[in-house]
Amino acid sequence: MGNTDIIAAIATPLGKGGVGVVRVSGKGLHKIIQGILGFFPKSRHASLSNFKDNNGLIIDQGIVIFYPAPSSYTGEDVLELQGHGGPAVMDMLLSRCLSLGARIAEPGEFTLRAFLNNKLDLAQAESVADIINASTKEAARCAMRSLQGDFSTTISVLAQKIIDLRMLIEATLDFPEEETCFLKHADIYGQIKNIKLNLENIIAAAQQGSLLREGVNVVLVGQPNVGKSSLMNKLAKEEVAIVTAIPGTTRDTIRETIQIEGVPIHLIDTAGLRETGDEIEQIGIARAWAAIEKGGLVLLLTDCRLGITKEDQQILEKLPGEIPLIHINNKIDLLKTPPQACDNKEKREIYLSAKTGAGVDQLRQELLETVGWSSNRSASEGIFMARHRHLKALAQTKEHLQEAYNITKKEIKAELLAEEMRLAHQRLLSITGEFSADDLLGEIFSRFCIGK
């Protein structure tokens, strides 16, 4: 992605709307401004203007705002043309910008330029897309905290502690005969331990934010006619799946996203798992197993009147051992027994009725606990909107800090200690983009929408 030419894009969603916006950014927008408006607007003021084509004919009438560099979103000169939100009007206005020397912006290129011009760090830039894509209000609030710099500030504070410690360690390298005594006297052991504790708190907050951002895939599995579709309808609070007494009604995966305490839960109802000669049902069963492999949590439904049957045991044995499992004993209404939950290290088990809804609220709470959500922690209490790469960088930072910590418990070798702290520092800085590869930037910003 270049950073010298002028870029333009429609910044509002496709389709008809009351208002549409074409955004232009780059150096030297005078030709484009003069060509479309016929005058140069006052900086940072909204002006009513006609937008003209190359023949002087009026394309549209709307509001124009000019943001001069560096006080703009991208840090460059930025022009916003706010017209009527019709697709034809927006296309004509964008084409006019292109004819005057702009090119169409790549996905995320406006925000990439903001990052390259030091208007945002990388974590803040990513939060822009997270705000746009947030599926719950809690996720949106969490993303806004990251955009405002809360996550970046926390990372920077920890990074400064590592810097201070690195300076201390590397200062001893010139005095090898005294390094061990000097570092022990400086309580290097306690300082690294304190940094580790701070990092673990950040990881916990980031993991919560990752749940808000990504949600979790919950796959409902079991034999035909055990109530998977009924349970999905109860969790979704609407009729999203067809329910009949005929086994094999669900022949393909059905997906529905709900939210529990702001956490997106992606429910996947699957075909009943059984031996069958029906070719269509076989395809549905194959897709069910594929969904299970990609799931974050499995709900195995059984009929509480029958217990674990031979067929249920066969399903259990095929389930991936690394994926968390909750065993749902359904149809307690037929036994007229109350709902209950059994939770221990060996298994999570809930007795409920998907037909009446008894026990479903307990299941909702169990879902949150199983995926690691802390119900007593809200988005206003320090949760950061974290992506997979953030969690990976934090985990790598933790590994290097642990290695450094282990070194301090033995005969201290300052060279090894300095290297582990350098690597920990490097991994941490990759979150805010102070240390990042160009291919990483390309991957991140290519996922943005065009016009942002």
Length of the chain measured in residues: 452
Is residue 116 located within the same domain as residue 147? no
Q: Does residue 14 carry a pLDDT above 70?
A: yes
Task: Answer whether residue 49 is part of any domain.
Answer: yes
Q: 188-214 and 388-408 are packed helices; what angle lies between their axes, rounded to 10 degrees?
A: 160
Q: Which two tokens stand for residue 206?
A: 């980031």
pLDDT score of 397 = 96
Is residue 131 located within the same domain as residue 116? no
Q: Does residue 437 carry a pLDDT above 70?
A: no
Task: Answer whether residue 440 is part of any domain.
Answer: no
Is residue 362 located within the same domain as residue 287? yes
CB-based contacts of 191: which residues, under 8 Å, 6+ apart?
161, 165
Q: What's the one-letter identity of residue 200?
A: E
Tens digit of each residue's pLDDT (9 = 90 or more) over 294-303: 777 888 999 9
Give the pairing of strands 216-222 and 263-269: parallel
User: Which of 133, 135, 112 is CA-nearest to residue 124?
Assistant: 112
Tens digit of each residue's pLDDT (9 = 90 or more) over 137-193: 888 888 898 898 899 999 999 999 999 888 888 777 766 555 556 566 667 788 889
pLDDT score of 58 = 96
pLDDT score of 346 = 67
Mean pLDDT across 218-236: 87
Structure letter (DSSP) for residue 371: H
433 touches 452 (CB < 8 A): no
Task: Answer whether residue 452 is part of any domain.
Answer: no
Complete edge-to-edge strand list for the sheet that includes strand 254-260: 254-260, 263-269, 216-222, 297-303, 325-330, 348-351, 340-343
Q: Which two tokens stand for residue 436?
A: 């990042």
Greatest extent of the chain over all pairs of C-alpha atoms, in Å: 82
Query: What is the span of the domain harbouring residue 429?
Result: 126-211+387-433
Q: What percent of the chain has pLDDT over 90?
A: 44
If phi over 0 gives left and psi between -120 and 50 gives alpha, with beta otherwise, what is residue 191? alpha
Is residue 99 located within the same domain as residue 180? no
User: Which of 363, 84, 118 is CA-nearest to residue 236?
Assistant: 363
Tens digit of each residue's pLDDT (9 = 90 or more) over 256-290: 888 888 888 888 887 666 555 556 656 666 666 66
Is residue 145 located within the same domain as residue 104? no
97 touches 439 (CB < 8 A): no
156 three-state secondary structure: helix
Q: Specify the higher pLDDT residue, 29 or 180.
A: 29
Q: Does residue 64 carry a pLDDT above 50?
A: yes
Q: How high is the mean pLDDT of the chain? A: 84
Task: Answer whether residue 332 is part of any domain.
Answer: yes
Q: Does residue 194 carry a pLDDT above 90?
A: yes
Q: How confident is the model at residue 240 (pLDDT cuts 50, 70, 90)?
A: low
Task: Answer whether residue 335 is part of any domain.
Answer: yes
Q: What is the pTM of this model?
A: 0.77
Helix, strand, coil share (%) of the chain residues, nearest 5: 45, 20, 35
Q: How far apart are CA 415 and CA 423, in angstroms?
A: 13
Give the pairing of strands 297-303 and 216-222: parallel
Other residues' Cβ atoms within 10 Å of the Cβ of residue 307? 9
Is residue 272 located within the same domain as residue 401? no
Peptide bond into 224 cis (omega under 30): no
pLDDT score of 380 = 45
Is residue 78 located within the same domain as residue 132? no
Task: Answer whether residue 283 is part of any domain.
Answer: yes
Q: Specify the higher pLDDT residue, 30 or 286.
A: 30
Q: How far apart are CA 387 and CA 312, in angstroms?
A: 36
pLDDT score of 420 = 92
Phi, psi of 61 (to 5 degrees): -125, 135
Task: Tell me the CATH number at 172.
Answer: 1.20.120.430
pLDDT score of 20 = 95
Task: Answer whether residue 446 is part of any domain.
Answer: no
Among 371, 398, 418, give the residue marking a domain's end. Answer: 371
Among 69, 90, 120, give the residue marking a domain's end. Answer: 120
Give the pairing of strands 348-351 and 103-104: unpaired
pLDDT score of 190 = 84
Is residue 221 located within the same domain as residue 206? no
User: Which of 403, 400, 410, 422 is CA-nearest to residue 180?
Assistant: 410
Tens digit of each residue's pLDDT (9 = 90 or more) over 89-142: 999 999 999 999 999 999 999 999 999 999 999 999 999 988 888 888 888 888
User: Which of 263, 211, 253 is CA-nearest to residue 232?
Assistant: 253
Is residue 141 located within the same domain as residue 226? no
Task: Tell me the CATH number at 347.
Answer: 3.40.50.300
Is residue 243 located within the same domain as residue 310? yes
Phi, psi of 218 (to 5 degrees): -115, 115
20 touches 85 (CB < 8 A): yes
Q: Does residue 4 carry a pLDDT above 90?
A: no
Mind giving me the DSSP string for 85-126?
E-HHHHHHHHHHHHHTT-EEPPTTHHHHHHHHTTSS-HHHHH
pLDDT score of 170 = 76
User: Which of 384, 370, 430, 433 is CA-nearest to residue 204?
Assistant: 384
Q: What percent of the chain has pLDDT over 70?
A: 84
Mean pLDDT across 332-346: 84
Is residue 220 located within the same domain as residue 367? yes
Poorest-confidence range of 67-81, 190-204, 390-404, 410-424?
A: 410-424
Is residue 207 located within the same domain as residue 220? no
pLDDT score of 40 = 92
Q: How far apart are CA 341 and CA 338, in angstroms?
A: 10
pLDDT score of 22 = 96
Q: Which of 152-161, 251-260, 364-373, 409-418 has the highest mean pLDDT?
A: 152-161
Number of structural domains in the chain: 3
